[in-house]
Structure 1
Amino acid sequence: MFPLRTLLFTPGDDPRKGEKAFAAGADAVIIDLEDAVAETRKEQARQLAVQLLSVPRPIPAFVRINGVTSPHILRDLQAVVGLPVAGLMLAKAESGEDVGRVDWLLSLLEQQNGLPPGQIKLIPFIESARGIARAGEIAAAPRVICLAFGGNDYTMDIGVPYSREGEELFFARNQLVVASRTAGIAPPLDTVNPDFKDISFLMEDARRARRLGFQGKLVIHPAQVSPVNEIFTPSDEEIAWAQKVVAAFTRARAAGSGVIQVEGKMVELPIVRRAEQLLAAARRLNKINE
Structure 2
Amino acid sequence: MGLLRCLLFVPGTDRKKINKAFALNADAVIMDLEDAVAISEKHTARRVVSETINSSALPVTYVRVNAVSSPYILADLQAVVQQRLAGIMLAKAETAEEVRRADWLMGLLEEERNIPRGTLELVPFIESARGIENAGEVAAACPRVKRLAFGGNDYTADTWTTYSEDGSELFYARAKLIAASRMAGIEPPLDTVCPFIKNIDALRKDAHRARKLGFQGKMVIHPAQIEPVKEIFSPTPEEVAAAEKIVAAFDEAEAKGTGVIQLDGKMVEYPIANRARQILAAARELK
TM-score range normalised by the length of the shorter chain: over 0.9
Aligned to 1:47: 47
Q: How far apart are residue 121 of structure 1 and its match?
A: 1.4
Which amino acid letter does the alignment assign opposite residue 97 of structure 1?
E
Distance 1:86 1:158 in 2: 32
The 3-state SS of whatever aligns with 2:210 is: helix
Alignment match, 2:173: 172
Matched with 2:235 is 234
**Structure 2 SS opposite 1:54:** helix
State the match for 2:105 in structure 1. 105
Partner Cα distance (2:185, 2:192) in 1 = 21
1:58, distance to aligned residue in structure 2 (A)? 5.6
Match of 1:152 in 2: 153
Alignment of 1:131-142 (within 5 A): 131-142=131-142
Indicate the SS of the match to 2:88.
strand
Asked if structure 2 preserves the Cα contact closer than 8 Å seen for 1:94 and 1:132, the reply is: yes
Q: d(CA) in 2 for partners of 1:115 and 1:136?
A: 29
Deviation at 1:117, TM superposition (A): 1.4
**Counterpart position of 1:80:** 80
Deviation at 1:55, TM superposition (A): 3.6
Q: What code does the residue aligned with 1:35 have?
A: D
Structure 2 distance, partners of 1:253, 1:121, is: 39
Give 1:278's aligned amino acid.
Answer: I
By how many angstroms is 1:87 displaced?
0.4
Superposed displacement of residue 157, structure 1: 0.3
Partner of residue 95, structure 1: 95
Letter in 2 for 1:64: R
TM-score, normalised to structure 1, is: 0.96
User: Which whole-Å CA distance do the structure 2 matches of 1:55 and 1:255 have between them?
Assistant: 58
* Alignment map for 1:189-228 (pairs within 5 Å): 189-228=190-229
The one-letter code of the counterpart of 1:159 is W
CA contact (8 A) 1:243 1:279 kept: yes
CA distance, structure 1, for counterparts of residue 145 and residue 84 of structure 2: 18
SS across alignment from 2:24: coil
Question: Unaligned 5+ residue runs, structure 1?
Answer: none
Matched residue SS, 2:67: coil
Q: Distance in 1 between matches of 2:56 and 2:157?
A: 38
- 1:83 Cα deviation from its structure 2 partner: 4.4
Corresponding residue of 1:20: 20
Separation in structure 1 between the aligned mates of residue 25 and residue 114 of structure 2, nearest angstrom: 34
Greater Cα offset, 154-163 or 251-260: 251-260
Instruction: Give CA-to-partner distance per residue, 1:77-129, whole Å, 9 cap, x none.
Output: 10112241110000000000110111111122122222211122100000000
Aligned-residue Cα RMSD (Å) equals 1.1
Sequence identity percentage: 59
TM-score (norm 2): 0.97
- Which stretches in structure 2 are left out of the alignment for 5+ residues? none
Conservation of the 8 A alpha-carbon contact between 1:50 and 1:83: no
Moved more, 32-41 or 251-260: 251-260
Amino acid of the residue matched to residue 197 of structure 1?
K
Give SS of 2:54's match.
coil
CA contact (8 A) 1:53 1:83 kept: no
**Is the Cα contact below 8 Å between 2:53 and 2:82 reproduced in 1?**
no
Q: Equivalent residue of 1:51, what SS?
A: helix
Is the 8 Å Cα contact of residues 164 and 205 (structure 1) preserved in structure 2? yes
